[in-house]
Chain A
Amino acid sequence: MKSGQGLELTRREFVTAGAAVAASAGLGLGAGWPTQAQVKALEDAGYEKKPVTCFVCGAGCGLYAMHPKGATPGERNVLIVPNHDHPQRGYCGRGASAMWYWNHPLRLKKPLKRAGERGEGKFTEIEWGQALDEIAARLKTVVEKHGEKGVALTSHDLTSIAQFFGYALGTPNIVNHAATCQTAGTISRRWIFAPPYDTNFRVDPDYENARYVLFIGRTLQASMGAQSRLAQAKSRGARAVYVDPRMPEAAMADGEWVPIVPGTDTAFALALAQVILADKSYDAEFLAKYTTLPLLITADGMPVTQAQIRPKGDATLYAVWDGKRSAMAFVGAKRDEEGKAIDYFGDLDAEPALDYTGQVKLLDGTVVPVSTAFNALVARCAEYTPAAAAELTGVPAATITRIAREFASLKGVCDDSWYNARNGNDFDACRMMVILNALVGNIDKPGGLCFTGSAGVGSLVSLQGKTGEVKNALGKSWTITETKRIDTVTYPESNGTFDAVYTAMLEGKPYPVRALFTVGTTLFYRDANTERVKKALKTLDLLVVQDILPQEVCDYADYVLPASYFLERPEVAGVKWTLQTAIQTSEPVLRAPAGCQGRDDAWMLMEVLRRAYPDRAERAGWLPEYADYEKYRSQAAPVIEQARLSAALKRAAEKDPDAPEKIRKALHTQGYAIVAKKKYRNTLWTKPLETASGRMEVYALRGLLNEKLRAKTDPLPKFTPIRAYRVPMGPNEFYLVSGKNPANGSGTAVFGWPGKFVGDRSVWIHPADAERLRVADGQMIEIEGLDNGVKGQARAKVTQRVRPGVLFTYGFSAGYRGRLGADPRFAFMSEGVNTHWFATGYAEPVIGNMANNVSVRVSAA
């Protein structure tokens, strides 16, 4: 949108007003903050309310759907409003537009069968019975030729449903989109905190009580409750700093924007650490007591264990230097029979020194020099002085020093990221984001980086990797023989690198994948290197796409199956992205609109299974009568949701026998139930983590203790230049950075009519670059990938909100090229470019995380 469009407000007038920015701190949100009373007033006026969990993006925020009592709910009388007191109080541009997707003109209505070549998007409508029978027959053929593992499934936020079917069939290959989303952050937490605190929402800043929040690349655009809590902290004086190549919307709300060169976040964070270490403003007591930094390591980086020093010593006890006694001491975690860490162990009264250097005599008599991991961190950070980091990051050294000192003195919190696949070197950046919190001792404290609880809502299905035992929510269990996910063959630490499945499709390595089911996901918005995606999809013997809207991937499908919308189905789930341990329920509000035969994803998958392998459907508890969709809706779906809730109720009853009744009542009346309020200084402070040392592994042992990983990984983060794409050098070459926004930008919202207006499909360019290239605001520009020569066109937005040398465009927003969904009314979806067109598909070794950013050449179109 053009600056000041149509409004006669002058720049001068706004500048004058802008000079007074930031004077409103301390106002508080007070009595005018909308509350549940607003919803009550609507109920009193004759509206019926149903709690729903928003699914327009993956944050799962709490909303209410309200409609006049007695009236048939439909698109014009269902009002979507925030569930104000919900722990993840919802409502953004995406949630507000929820009713636009239900009866969307492009909504998939009937099963479709391919009638043209793959990619042509030509289909004929068929009946459900024919679709399921034919898919089942083709699935059997693939399994007979290539085995169960020749079948892969992928999803965005419905992975558990894909697993529900996949494990029943017997394939382990349910590989999601994580690599281009959150892998770097998840694996960084796995290395530092270990499961379950690797999952992105199991560790989160305590925004509400924060004093200073550092966002390195994160924009907090999805979980609206978190944004809401941050706003409340800001009204009490908290400050928010956004380090990003472009100025995110959130920074416009009185935040500080620090423009940074793409791909240099690790160097920036290491420089902050360098200042904190040099200033000695770190929390020495915390680091000594709760992290691996006092561990003694040898020259090769390996930690010294008690077993190396004492006869019959314990190999899980790690050597530290006890400063109090001037003697060696040992620390570790005590474990139960199952190997679960239950308590701290070793010389508990030792005072481990952080900066010891000395020698250790090993059992074989050799004497080796040792030094603390802390010293290794200091040495590593010494390479990244503010001046050195300024050269890499483009952030002035004085700014780096100031932010480091503010962060340390205010005991700031650095967000540990969610959507963090940026430049293919993000694993160490994410590690540093977590480590900064450790340096100032701000872990699991008010205003710090906190652990969140689990309400214990039962899984739809679970697989024990070691035994192959599967259990599902229908109360059944069985074993499968193949449990290793195909992407972990190449990327042993990955939690989902779908690119490995493309390799299996194209090259048959490590073995062929010949059938793919996509469950509510859009490969073309999420996966790097679009041409490779197309080529791979064309090799398949069977591609089934399940969705509510004609995602681009549909064009390549053999069968497209219309799915149900979240407002049409029930769900019980834990509440994500909140420090409160809570359960939420989503009630069906609507049936599918007239003419739409959308069905639940689980139903269509299991009906394929029942037709292909009735015995496997039976072992999974899937009864023949569920073939009748209404019977599934009235019998199986409620049983599944109740089983999942029962798991949580059982756990709650262990502490309070009355809890289940209270939870049920709360879920019924308000749509959520808080099972436990946040207790600070709990995990890590009173009980060890599941890491090898039980401690927070700032100096990571995970790679060191695994022979296969040792040579390929580093126990400390370091800056690695971008390898995912050629770094731009010429005057018309740019980084093209992708990111999210809070107004649209999700696989669903990209189709939204409101998104046409509140979204943005332009490519941002800095005024200095625009002037040099003679590009005017609103002008079309041609963009060509430096690595692959792929071309695209977009409208330029000349803005100060992006740093020179960098272009920006929103991901999951622009460049739709689907043929099935081609409609002149929705032509706006095809505007702009998708960064994946220009991507190489590079994945970081071992970790498997990928890049959403690319490099391009620009000219006026």
Chain B
Amino acid sequence: MTNTPQISSTSARDDLRTEPRFIRGLVIAMAVIFLTVFVVLPLVVVFAQAFSKGVGAYFAALSDPEALSAIRLTLMVAVISVGLNLVFGLVAAWAIAKFDFRGKTFLISLIDLPFSVSPVISGLVFVLLFGAQGFWGPWLQSHDVHVLFAVPGIALATIFVTFPFVARALIPLMQEQGTQEEEAAISLGASGLQTFFRVTLPNIKWGVLYGVLLCNARAMGEFGAVSVVSGHIRGETNTMPLLVEILYNEYQFVSSFAIASLLAMLALITLVAKTILERHLDEGPSPSGD
């Protein structure tokens, strides 16, 4: 007798806490179906198409000189843009998070600009600046410097598009950490560089890796901005995403999807690395092994 009201009260509390079983099932099923159709299926299709003519055809497609050149160019552009954006991003985040100055808000909006501008427009800006009819075009031509339709142009467009990633990952982190540890280091006699390398950088290393990872993924995958400035010179200025499109338009599905599969693998690796890094960021920089 005494048990009955207790049981009914706990089940009533359960009802308040969670939705009925069939609604839970429905919502979970919807999420799973959505992810399958829009994420898992396309990934499977990419790999299925890439291997549709066998493993031999897959590796033949990847070792094609045009494909190798695209891979090399993509890696080079990624190294350049990630490297430079690492430096820019660190400097910008350091300035914004640790110092007060006029125009700080303006600088923050400038950093966000590449996110709000369509990549095609970003590419066009560089055409307008460096193109034959562009602002610096005639001067560049007379000095025989090739920016557009060459590696520098592609690198510039990629740097522009991927600029916010490192800075954006670091600004909130550095703001949250404040300036007290730096002040402590300076009052203990550390120089500016010692303070940066011994105190600031170790505290933000996971944030830096996180920013670099996202920056790299975007740099390798960028299509729009690069497409405008590249000129699509085969074997010279095609990056992997550009080559995927060209091969696809030429009905070379195996080659196209083989290269696409490389980009898909990059995405998967990025995803795993991102999950690991996020765990470190949540934990904070101090190891808690005792």
Q: Do A and B bind each other?
A: no
Residues of A within 8 A of B (CB): none
Interface residues of B (CB under 8 A from A): none
